[in-house]
Structure 1
Amino acid sequence: MASIYIHIPYCKQACHYCNFYFSTKLKTKSQFLNALQKEIIIKQKYINDTINSIYIGGGTPSVLSFLELEKIITLIKNSFNIDNDVEVTIEINPDDINNGQLDDYKKIGFNRLSVGVQSFIDKELKLMNRRHNAKQAILLLEDVSKKFKNFSIDLIYGIPGSNINNWKKNIQTALSFNPSHISAYALTIEEKTVFFNWIKNNKLNKLNEKITYNQFKYLVEKLEKSGFEHYEISNFAKNKKYSVCNKSYWNGDKYFGFGPSAHSFDGKLRSWNKASIHEYITSINEGKLPYKLEKLTKIDRYNEYIMFGLRTNKGISKKNILDNFGLDFFKEFIGKVNKHLNLNNLFEDGDFIKSSRKSLFVIDGIISDFFLVND
């Protein structure tokens, strides 16, 4: 099985925290969509795997019309071997959805929505430069919850100026709509964002780490009590309604990306399209795929296995380390494991090494301690 990701590189305005590739200039949208269709047709002969997930992300895919989305989904289904139970997801923003649009999504074939709420607090939404307000998010989720059984709500914690009470309100409001999935991300301050420049110039202060930790702690405890499985550091699922697309990344499965900046992995090689709408359109129109290629070294594959294993509740198999990477890697791995077992950062579950609850908030630092460096 493999998954398909389509990157729609357009937003109506830039969020102050976002460093994903996008453009607020929609004048090239028609040319981009023509190029996207051509890329799908070009890659058709290279992809023979059965597709179990189609995910349209961005950017803001909900800026596309019914006909534009229908054309993309129809072409994908006609071009590749699609599993009967394929999960078809689109990311949507509360301010983009009009009356009847959710029904249109179902007609096109979308059976899962990812709703970019981020917060139900208007002050926080304004700070992040989100275009919607809390009322719009609530009205949309009321409609979504009636029409889709499988939907995810995106939230952000660690927002400057936020507090534990506002975060509790965010979680409780999200739960009131009975979503099958919640993704909650710690705000990271990325270079080339408004937040980065504000903090650099002392116009904004990062949230105190203790408050951020308490928000994370409440998130995990509240969602687990509400029947959610904490299956990845930022992701929670009810009744095993995991994101099929995301799980393919974490499990090391194949995935194929389309559109500017989209990444692909065929099991051995990783490639990514150039992060430029102009270069993407030009290359595709010349019959060329605008990608860069990277062959993963043994160390690269080891580091990724460590990273995804410790970020998910699946953990890391000692047997897999020995069988797939050899004795030298295994000895290095066990040395680090023993160190973190003694610190109660990890625990053993049969053959598997897993992250302890206490380590989850700082898991990236623990993961980096395991990383090996290419010569």
Structure 2
Amino acid sequence: MAGLYLHIPFCKQKCSYCDFHFSTSLKHKPALIEALMKEIEYRRSQLQEPVKTIYFGGGTPSMLSDEELKRIMDQLYRNYNIDPEIEFTLECNPDDLTPEKVAGLKRLGVNRLSIGVQSFFEEDLRFFNRAHTMQQAERSIQLSQDAGITNITIDLIYNTPQLSLAKWEKNLDKVEQFQVPHLSAYTLTVENNTALSHLVNTRQVRMPGDELAVAQFNMLVERTKAIGMIQYEVSNFGKEGYFSQHNSNYWKGVEYLGFGPSAHSYTGQKRSWNVAHNLKYIEAIRSGNRFCEEEMIDEQTAYNEYVLTRLRTIWGIDRAYLAGHFSADINRHFEAELAKYLKTSYLQSENNRIRLTSEGLVLADSIASDLFIVS
């Protein structure tokens, strides 16, 4: 099985924390869609496996018209072996969703919506420079459910300057109120060259301390568990049957192709990434020139990535997989470093799998880095 990712690099405005590739100008949107269509056809020989998941990310894919989305989908079906039971996710902003828009998406086969709510408080949305309001956030969830799309995930952000523990709990109350079956919740990070980094560096904004972040994370874990969600990855929570198949496949090392500017692809032994510039991407595709860089994945890199991604998940690190895919030296390194943590309360070993404990969840990346092989 395999997955397809399509990067739609357009947004109405730039969020204060975002460092993803996108443009707020739609001037080159038609040309970019033409380039995307050509890339989809050009790369069809690179993936023979049945496609189980399609994911439109960005940017803001909900800015595509129904006609534009249909053209892209038709091109995918012409060139790839799309499974009839496909999981088809589209990221969207609340302000783009109307009853007519959702009905159109459903007709085109979209069966999972990822709604970028981020917060149900107006002051937070203004701080994030989001284009939608609290009312639009709530309405977008309700009208999507009313249209019959039950597989909905929303994004929320915690550990923000204006977010008290009480406010965070009210955000989680909304998840329960709307009976959303999946939640992705991320701690706010300060990325370079963003509006947020400028505010922090000039001391106009002060980020909360670790104590509040841990308290909000613990509340997140407790509240989602109480409403029947399973924490299947550090930042992802879903009810049974509603885990993101597409993202789960990333963490399980399944092959995928990424189309569009800045999109990444992974084919087991090789990784590639497209140029992160709309005009350069369009021109390269149009002229038949190289539009991506690639690298072969050596054993050390493959091991480090396996440890990093799998440790964050409910599936954990499989010792049998390590023994079958990596050298004896790498396995000895893993066991030696692991032994230190098995004496703590952060990791547990069960049925030959290594998983984080509830105490270890907040230290996931730090623990993974200690298990890495560093040249």
Q: Do both share a fold (TM > 0.5)?
A: yes
* Distance apart, 1:140 and its partner CA: 1.1
* Distance apart, 1:113 and its partner CA: 0.4
Task: Note if 1:52 corresponds to 2:48.
Answer: no
Higher mean displacement: 298-307 or 365-374? 365-374
Task: Note if 1:220 corresponds to 2:221.
Answer: yes
Q: What CA deviation, in whole Å up to 9, does each residue of 1:168-215 have, x standing for no partner?
A: 111110221112211111111110111111111101000121111111
* Distance apart, 1:289 and its partner CA: 4.4
Higher mean displacement: 337-346 or 291-300? 337-346
Instruction: Provide the C-alpha distance between the structure 2 equivalents of 1:263 and 1:70, rounded to a whole number of angstroms.
Output: 23
Instruction: Provide the C-alpha distance between the structure 1 equivalents of 2:137 and 2:369, rounded to a whole number of angstroms.
Output: 37
Equivalent residue for 1:114?
114
* Aligned partners of 1:298 and 1:325 also within 8 Å: yes
* Aligned partners of 1:39 and 1:289 also within 8 Å: no
The TM-score with structure 1 as length reference comes to 0.98
* Aligned partners of 1:145 and 1:177 also within 8 Å: no
Please state whether the residue corresponding to 2:94 is helix, strand or coil: coil
* Distance apart, 1:41 and its partner CA: 1.0
* Aligned partners of 1:51 and 1:81 also within 8 Å: yes
* Aligned partners of 2:233 and 2:312 also within 8 Å: yes
Task: Note if 1:127 corresponds to 2:134.
Answer: no
* Aligned partners of 2:99 and 2:144 also within 8 Å: no
Q: Which ranges in structure 2 are unaligned for 5 or more consecutive residues?
A: none
* Distance apart, 1:360 and its partner CA: 0.8
Task: Give, as a single letter, the amino acid of the residue that structure 2 aligns with 1:91.
Answer: E
* Distance apart, 1:295 and its partner CA: 0.6
* Distance apart, 1:326 and its partner CA: 2.1
Instruction: Provide the C-alpha distance between the structure 2 equivalents of 1:273 and 1:160, rounded to a whole number of angstroms.
Output: 34
Equivalent residue for 1:68?
68
Equivalent residue for 1:276?
277
Instruction: Provide the C-alpha distance between the structure 1 equivalents of 2:324 and 2:245, rounded to a whole number of angstroms.
Output: 27
Instruction: Provide the C-alpha distance between the structure 2 equivalents of 1:48 and 1:350, rounded to a whole number of angstroms.
Output: 34
Please state whether the residue corresponding to 1:354 is helix, strand or coil: strand
* Distance apart, 1:363 and its partner CA: 1.2
Instruction: Provide the C-alpha distance between the structure 2 equivalents of 1:261 and 1:46, rounded to a whole number of angstroms.
Output: 18
Task: Note if 1:255 corresponds to 2:246.
Answer: no
* Distance apart, 1:98 and its partner CA: 2.7
Q: What CA deviation, in whole Å up to 9, does each residue of 1:47-83 have, x standing for no partner?
A: 2110000100100011111101111112111211011
Instruction: Provide the C-alpha distance between the structure 2 equivalents of 1:257 and 1:343, rounded to a whole number of angstroms.
Output: 40
* Aligned partners of 1:271 and 1:292 also within 8 Å: yes
Q: What CA deviation, in whole Å up to 9, does each residue of 1:290-322 have, x standing for no partner?
A: 010011110000001101111001011112222
Instruction: Provide the C-alpha distance between the structure 1 equivalents of 2:280 and 2:317, rounded to a whole number of angstroms.
Output: 40
Equivalent residue for 1:154?
155
* Distance apart, 1:369 and its partner CA: 0.8
Higher mean displacement: 285-294 or 198-207? 285-294
* Distance apart, 1:252 and its partner CA: 0.5
Equivalent residue for 1:138?
138
Equivalent residue for 1:6?
6
* Aligned partners of 1:52 and 1:87 also within 8 Å: yes
Equivalent residue for 1:298?
299
Task: Give, as a single letter, the amino acid of the residue that structure 1 aligns with 2:144.
Answer: V
Identity rate of aligned residues, in percent? Answer: 38
* Aligned partners of 2:181 and 2:242 also within 8 Å: yes
Please state whether the residue corresponding to 1:26 is helix, strand or coil: coil
Equivalent residue for 1:42?
42
Instruction: Provide the C-alpha distance between the structure 1 equivalents of 2:239 and 2:43, rounded to a whole number of angstroms.
Output: 35
Structure 1 runs of 4+ with >6 Å offset? none
> Which residues in structure 2 correspond to 1:127-206 (within 5 Å)?
127-146=127-146, 147-206=148-207
Instruction: Provide the C-alpha distance between the structure 2 equivalents of 1:258 and 1:137, rounded to a whole number of angstroms.
Output: 29
* Distance apart, 1:372 and its partner CA: 0.9
Task: Note if 1:324 corresponds to 2:325.
Answer: yes
Instruction: Provide the C-alpha distance between the structure 2 equivalents of 1:154 and 1:177, rounded to a whole number of angstroms.
Output: 14
Instruction: Provide the C-alpha distance between the structure 1 equivalents of 2:288 and 2:54, rounded to a whole number of angstroms.
Output: 24
* Distance apart, 1:239 and its partner CA: 1.5
Higher mean displacement: 328-337 or 6-15? 328-337
Task: Give, as a single letter, the amino acid of the residue that structure 2 aligns with 1:285.
Answer: R
* Distance apart, 1:324 and its partner CA: 1.3
Please state whether the residue corresponding to 1:106 is helix, strand or coil: helix
Q: What CA deviation, in whole Å up to 9, does each residue of 1:220-264 have, x standing for no partner?
A: 111011111100011011123111110111000101000000000
Please state whether the residue corresponding to 1:45 is helix, strand or coil: helix
Instruction: Provide the C-alpha distance between the structure 1 equivalents of 2:46 and 2:321, rounded to a whole number of angstroms.
Output: 29
* Distance apart, 1:120 and its partner CA: 0.2
Q: What CA deviation, in whole Å up to 9, does each residue of 1:116-154 have, x standing for no partner?
A: 000001111100101111111111111112221111011
Instruction: Provide the C-alpha distance between the structure 1 equivalents of 2:247 and 2:280, rounded to a whole number of angstroms.
Output: 27
Equivalent residue for 1:89?
89
Instruction: Provide the C-alpha distance between the structure 2 equivalents of 1:318 and 1:89, rounded to a whole number of angstroms.
Output: 32
* Aligned partners of 1:145 and 1:178 also within 8 Å: no
